[in-house]
Structure 1
Amino acid sequence: MALKVSIDLSRKFIVSADSDHVFALLSDVEASAAHFPKVHAITKIGDNRFKWEMEKVNLGTHSAQTAYACEYIANSTDKTVEWFPIKGEGNSEVSGKWTIKELSAGTELSFVTKAVLTLPLPGLLKLAISPMVKMEFAGMVDTYITNIKTVLV
């Protein structure tokens, strides 16, 4: 039996870099992913398609590893980068979007993501494990955002 955990996150922040520089980084999946913590491997599996394998995470007395694949669409006109789950790849599904907005001084970034993580854990652990999974995922996203901010000064 598997445990499913659904997570929705959104973050908004401003960096001093111009929007073209921001878009160049975020539309390059491998360059952007290099700033995401706890990535065991990211593998290109086709045009704009990547499989993510995360490091194992300890959840109390249990551990779990997530893997998923996404197709990425970068729109230079709208300055957006979206990702959509590729069904049947890995044990989880992740989707999301970066929206990049030029300001008079700097760039505003909006990040949204939705994840459905399917972990090989007994469903009876949902009440105990689900909050830890959500906290771990949010912490990784926050570290990623911090790393992106550091690069886009």
Structure 2
Amino acid sequence: MAITVSIELNRDLEIPAGYDDVFDLLADVPRSVSHFPKVDKLVDLGGNAYRWEMEKVGVDKHAIQTVYACSYHPDKDAGKITWEPVKGEGNAEVSGSWTITANGDNATKVRFQTSAKLTVPLPSLLKLAISPVIKHEFNSLVDTYMNNLKNAF
């Protein structure tokens, strides 16, 4: 038995760096992911597609690991980086985008949007209890990621 938890996130931030530097960091998936907390492994699948393997959460046979893969599509002229799920990889599907806009020479506005569907092997009776915990953890990881990116400059 399994439950699926859906998560939608939007974040806006301003990074104290020029457009090119910000875009180049975000478009370089391994470099960008190095600022994301609790990533156990990032696997290059080729063609700008990567599998994220997050650290396990829980104990022994009750540990849950989130694994998913995305294909990334940077468009510097449009100020957009999008990602879409690679089907058949892991227990989650994640899609989203960065929208990047110069704000003068030394600041860049960034909008992060993502949608995730995570399937975990738990009884459906636990969905009401575990869903808020998973959403809270995901929000916390993304907030830490945003702070880490801002501090990278």
Instruction: Confirm or deny a common fold (TM above 0.5).
Output: yes
Q: Which residue of 2 aligns with 1:127?
A: 128
How big is the shift at 1:15?
1.3
Q: Which residue of 2 aligns with 1:42?
A: 42
Query: Could you tell me the percent identity over the aligned residues?
Result: 51
Q: Which residue of 1 aligns with 2:148?
A: 147
TM-score (norm 2): 0.95
Paired with 1:58 and 1:112, the residues of 2 have a C-alpha distance of 28
How big is the shift at 1:101?
0.3
- Structure 1, unaligned stretches of length 5 or more? none
How big is the shift at 1:65?
0.9
| CA RMSD in angstroms, aligned pairs only | 1.2
TM-score (norm 1): 0.95
Matched letter for residue 133 of structure 1: I
Measured against aligned partners, the alpha-carbon deviations of 1:16-63 in whole angstroms (never above 9, x if no partner) come to 10010000100000000000000010000111100011011239xx53
How big is the shift at 1:76?
1.1
How big is the shift at 1:151?
0.7
How big is the shift at 1:121?
1.2
The answer as to 2:83 corresponding to 1:83 is yes
Aligned length: 150
Paired with 1:15 and 1:90, the residues of 2 have a C-alpha distance of 32
Matched residue SS, 1:77: coil
